[in-house]
């Protein structure tokens, strides 16, 4: 798996607004993939967070009233949470929105595939930053065995260093895996 192949498969038109999201809270994330042996950046939320405490997720968050669109939200949140400043032109595409089961978010995932990143620094919203080898990580996919997690749509889980990635983050990873296998 090389970056140029990833770029070609994950490049899509970017439409940073969502029209139909019901009563959900709008949010966005940024999937950052970098390096010659592609690495994906994920974070672990602190256990004291109001939403998604202790979960492994992508940098991102709620649409702020000062954000002009969801791409701006994803870039701002990534800069705040892990200290990575990217320009809009470094975002190559977006995936389908995902919905959280319990917290009522509709999340628009954006994708950036870049050659390298500077050292990252976590803020108070991030317990830990993970740099995960993408190819081997995607191979850990299994169907989520908890039937209560399968109420809306099929659920998956991934594993890295004993940590389980599930829910919306796993559905984003499944979309990436599907793009790469097509």
pLDDT more than 90, % of the chain: 69
Top pLDDT among 110 and 2 is at 110
The count of structural domains within the chain is: 1
Does 151 score more than 60 pLDDT?
no
Instruction: For residue 160, tell me if it sits in a domain.
Output: no
* Mean predicted confidence (pLDDT) in 134-163: 78
DSSP-assigned letter for residue 147: G
Kindly calculate the radius of gyration of the chain based on its CA atoms and give it in whole angstroms: 15
Instruction: For residue 177, tell me if it sits in a domain.
Output: no
Note the pLDDT of residue 12.
96
C-alpha span between 45 and 47 (Å, rounded):
6
Instruction: For residue 87, tell me if it sits in a domain.
Output: yes
Q: How many CB atoms lie within 10 A of CB 136?
A: 10
Helices (H), the chain: 3-10, 70-82, 134-138, 167-181
Instruction: For residue 182, tell me if it sits in a domain.
Output: no
Instruction: For residue 139, tell me if it sits in a domain.
Output: no
pLDDT one-digit tens code per residue, 12-67: 999 999 887 788 999 999 999 999 999 999 999 887 766 656 789 999 999 999 99
Least confidently predicted of 20-24, 30-34, 115-119, 163-167: 20-24
Residues 6+ positions from 78 with CB-CB distance below 8 Å: 30, 32, 59, 60, 84, 85, 86
CATH number of the CATH domain containing 72: 3.90.79.10
For β-strands 105-114 and 25-34, DSSP reports them as parallel
**Structural domain harbouring 114:** 3-133
C-alpha span between 51 and 57 (Å, rounded):
12
Distance of CA 37 to the CA centre of its chain: 19
pLDDT more than 70, % of the chain: 91
**Model confidence, pTM:** 0.91
C-alpha span between 31 and 48 (Å, rounded):
24
* DSSP letter string, 23-52: TPEEEEEEEEEETTTTEEEEEE--TT-SSS
Least confidently predicted of 9-23, 50-64, 71-85, 135-149: 135-149
Note the pLDDT of residue 149.
53
Instruction: For residue 105, tell me if it sits in a domain.
Output: yes
Instruction: For residue 167, tell me if it sits in a domain.
Output: no
Instruction: For residue 82, tell me if it sits in a domain.
Output: yes
Does 150 score more than 60 pLDDT?
no
């Amino acid at each position: 798996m090389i970056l140029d192949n990833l770029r070609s498969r994950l490049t899509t038109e970017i439409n940073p607004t969502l029209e139909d999201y019901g009563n959900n809270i709008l949010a966005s994330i940024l999937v950052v993939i970098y390096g010659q042996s592609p690495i994906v950046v994920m974070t672990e939320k602190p256990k004291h967070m109001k939403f998604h405490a202790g979960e492994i997720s992508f940098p991102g968050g709620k649409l702020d009233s000062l954000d002009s669109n969801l791409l701006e939200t994803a870039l701002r949140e990534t800069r705040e949470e892990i200290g990575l400043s990217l320009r809009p032109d470094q975002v190559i595409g977006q995936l389908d929105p995902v919905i959280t089961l319990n917290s009522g978010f509709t999340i628009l995932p954006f994708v950036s595939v870049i050659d390298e990143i500077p050292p990252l620094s976590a803020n108070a919203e991030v317990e830990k930053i993970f740099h995960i080898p993408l190819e081997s990580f995607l191979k850990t996919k299994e169907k989520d065995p908890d039937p209560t997690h399968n109420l809306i749509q099929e659920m998956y889980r991934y594993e890295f260093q004993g940590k389980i990635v599930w829910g919306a983050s796993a559905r984003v990873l499944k979309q990436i895996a599907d793009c790469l296998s097509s």
